[in-house]
Amino acid sequence: MRRRRLLLLLLVLLVASCLALLVYLQRSGPPQAVRMLPEADGVLYVNVGRIRLLAPQAELGEVVREPAYSDFVSQTGFQFERDLEEAALAVHLPKQKPAGSSATGNAQAEEPRFSSVFVARIHSERLVAYLKKQAQGVDRYRDLEIFRIPVEDRVVRVAILSVDTVAVSNFAGEKPMHAMIDRYKEGASPSAERSVVREYYPQVPLGSLAWAIARYVPGETNLPGAGSPLGTPVAATWVASARYTGSLHLRGEAFTAGEADARKLHDQTAALLGLYRAFQSEASKTSADPDVRALIDSIEVAQQQDRVVFTATVPQGFIQKALAEPPKPASSQPAP
């Protein structure tokens, strides 16, 4: 009896220690890959390795590779679906032009740009050989090579930071790439993380497989869809996350300047959600999928003082259907 109590006590202490470690890691700052990112309007992080371990064992369809990606795999030995462990993405939104300014100019300036840090199992020598073949030029910064690769109408810069870390940016200038290299050289200390991330990362739920933090102010950035009825009506900092516990739990929080802004955002999104549910109710009369219906019914919007909270639960069946191989079309016989 005494031994059983001792084992139970040890189990409780072990669980408490694990929870304390998770809280400590949460408070100590975001993952190292995020700390390497440059200044940006938003940050997205995905722990692909954990998703791969926790994903439901659905029957995946055969991966169809585009010719360019197939060539990349054959030359580098790297497969995103197998070797990628972490991905951190910084989003650079185009700035709103001042009133009265000319709309003419480089159309590329109106497109969002991205800077990324990937942590993966890579074959450095094979990847370097591939990048040298694709690059139109190679720059050097702080003893690292930066490959300039033309992709459509822009230049993508790639730098191999270490044996398992690669930085990529399609920003028009070299400043974001230099910033990522600087932060890597500095050890990506917690003080190097972005201010918006440092301020709101504690709001990310523990155990999140993926999360995003973004700040949006109407009139300052060109956010796609901002001018439509679905656009964000007020300035807010958004924190979105996804956790998996048998079902996929989605959560989003919009932190506004005050209760009045939160009420305005809540009322607009609640009205749109009501219209969408009414539309889906009519559509379900002809073809009703219980998993889709359960997902729609799980969506909730609530105001909590100066913030608006969005939650939803993606059922296990919905995930399995999304990952399952689509039915192959029946082969048609050639006409005589």
Which residues have C-beta within 8 Å of that of residue 234, sequence separation ≥ 6?
218, 256, 257, 261, 264, 265
Burial 137-172 (b: 16+ CB within 10 A, else e): eeeeeeebebbbbeeeeebbbbbbbeeebbbbbbbe
Which residues have C-beta within 8 Å of that of residue 27, sequence separation ≥ 6?
202
Confidence of residue 107 (pLDDT cuts 50, 70, 90): very low
Question: Could you give the C-alpha distances from 138 to 33, 118, 134, 156, in angstroms and in order?
Answer: 24, 20, 10, 12
DSSP conformation letters of 216-236: E-TTTB--TTTTSTTS--S-E
Question: Could you give the C-alpha distances from 146 to 25, 234, 253, in angstroms and in order?
Answer: 32, 40, 37
* Chain segment 148-178, per-residue pLDDT in tens: 999 988 899 999 999 999 999 999 889 999 9
> In whole numbers, what is the pLDDT of the chain averaged over residues?
81
Residue 48: name the closest of 162, 210, 212, 252 by CA. Answer: 210
- DSSP lists the bridge partners of residue 87 as 46, 118
What's the rounded mean pLDDT across residues 288-294? Answer: 78
DSSP state of 209: S
Question: What is the per-residue pLDDT for 220?
Answer: 64
Annotated domain spans of the chain: 30-98+106-193, 194-325
* Chain segment 207-256, per-residue pLDDT in tens: 899 999 998 887 665 555 444 444 567 889 999 999 988 789 999 999 99
pTM: 0.80
- DSSP lists the bridge partners of residue 239 as 213, 253
Question: What is the per-residue pLDDT for 11?
Answer: 74
